Amino acid sequence: MGEFRYVWVNTRLIVLTALSAALYAVILVPFKIGLVFIPGVTEWRPANAIPIVCSLLFGPAAAWGTAFGNLIGDMFGTLGPGSIGGFVGNFLYGFLPYATWRAIAGTKPQLRSLWDLLLYVLVALTASAACAFVIAWWVDLVRVAPFAPVSIIILVNNFAMAVLLGPPLLFILQPAVATWQLTYERINPEIAVRHPVRYIIGWALIAIACAIGIALRRMPALEGTFLSQHFGLVGATAPLLIMVIIGAVLLTNRIRMPVRVAPLMEVTPSAGELAWQVSHLSFAYPGSDSHALRDINLVQHWGETIIVMGASGAGKSTLCKCLTGIIPHVQPGDCVGEVKVMGRSVTESSVSSLSQHIGLVLQDFEAQLFSTRVDLEVAFACENASLPRIEIGQRVQRALQGVGLSGLEARAPATLSGGQKQRLAI
């Protein structure tokens, strides 16, 4: 699956998309009535630093966020046919910084040296030029405004704000975002093998097309009134627009998607059958000098009860995260060894598919309960699997009977005892 589609199947990336859109729109709107360059088209935009910073931190999520954020901003005075080009142009403006940095440096974005700062300037220039070319081409096509002034205004506006405001913002925000593990590299460790040659070709196509396009379209002199220039040459520069699109496609990456969740199945194992197995498991959290787990070997069969005890920080919760697939799919780190649940390797199975066979009751088990009725709480997982309503009812009754909560279907979880809440969480 492509990176753009992957954003919409990852909850955290969806949240970051909304965050990027909100930040961009909130700063855009107040300046709609400020210094307007072309009425109904563009104005002075200090907010243009936000997409660059968000792109370097959040990757493709920032592309969608920038596109929707600009559309929201247009609703406060500049919404019209030109907004279509604005959506596409700002999408590229939010995607190309991350993609260009990856193409040239091949490392996570950071500002730690003069080279990093120069690369940031190149990244901002590439994204600004692509955004300017696409939007100016479109507004010229739909006869909203001529290409020449629009392209230069957007290019200078975007680039100036990105260079002046972007580095300080990135320098301040990057450590915090990395600590919260919200960078794109942390959220999506399943990026396919990089193709540096393809990335460089894609970036080169975009850079060449934008440079030629903006240079060619500036040839008509600014004659007459500001908005009465010649509206031509759209077809002549269309191939350059196609080059930009091809370049953007080459800069995208393929994502190794998690295993698709199969329909829920009844599990009826026999006593003594292997439930899960841990072999030579070691794990260290990012930035830690010591291992939370070191060479752990443990096996549990159906019908057995195992109690793992230890002081705070001994690794009990870490072991549970390894068994449920949270490590390594959600929580990154240095993980060595093998973990199998129901004969399936945890590293080759998604967290959602593993959840059909193994569950985790948190220390604060009340935090896992959110519905207003006991039966609705149990039915939630089945509803996510799109099971028929009749089957959901049957499963709910069997599950409640299995944990001794039959007859409490209509009760509110908050009214249950502590032990009953724990069983409901199971």
Cα(82)–Cα(237) distance, integer angstroms: 18
Cβ(393)–Cβ(383) below 8 Å: no
How crowded is the C-beta side of 97, counted as CA atoms within 13 Å?
39
Contacts of 102 (CB under 8 A, 6+ apart): 194, 199, 251
Least confident of 67-71, 139-143, 263-267, 339-343: 263-267
Q: How far is CA 52 from the centre of its chain?
A: 15
State residue 125's pLDDT score: 95
Q: If you compute the radius of gyration of the chain from its CA atoms, what whole number of angstroms results?
A: 27
Cα(227)–Cα(314) distance, integer angstroms: 70
State residue 102's pLDDT score: 84
State residue 228's pLDDT score: 39
Choose between 193 and 318: higher pLDDT: 318
CA-based end-to-end distance of the chain: 33
Closest C-alpha to 1, from 187, 192, 183: 192
> Per-residue confidence at 194, pLDDT binned at 50, 70, 90?
low
State residue 313's pLDDT score: 86
> Per-residue confidence at 182, pLDDT binned at 50, 70, 90?
confident
State residue 43's pLDDT score: 61
Structural domains of the chain, with CATH: 3-251 (1.10.1760.20), 270-360 (3.40.50.300), 362-425 (no CATH)
Indicate the pTM of the whole model.
0.62
244's tokens: 């930009």
Digit-coded pLDDT (tens) for 282-308: 999 988 888 999 999 999 998 888 898
Q: Residue 338: beta bridge partners? A: 279
Burial of 85 (0-12, 13-18, 19+ CB in 10 A): buried
Order of strands, sheet of 274-284, starting from the edge strand that comes earlier in the sequence = 293-301, 274-284, 334-341, 344-345
Cα(140)–Cα(146) distance, integer angstroms: 5
Contacts of 34 (CB under 8 A, 6+ apart): 43, 44
State residue 143's pLDDT score: 84
State residue 123's pLDDT score: 94
* Averaged pLDDT for residues 345-354: 84
State residue 343's pLDDT score: 85
Least confident of 65-79, 142-156, 159-173, 351-365: 351-365
Side chain identity at residue 126, one-letter code: T
How crowded is the C-beta side of 282, counted as CA atoms within 13 Å?
7
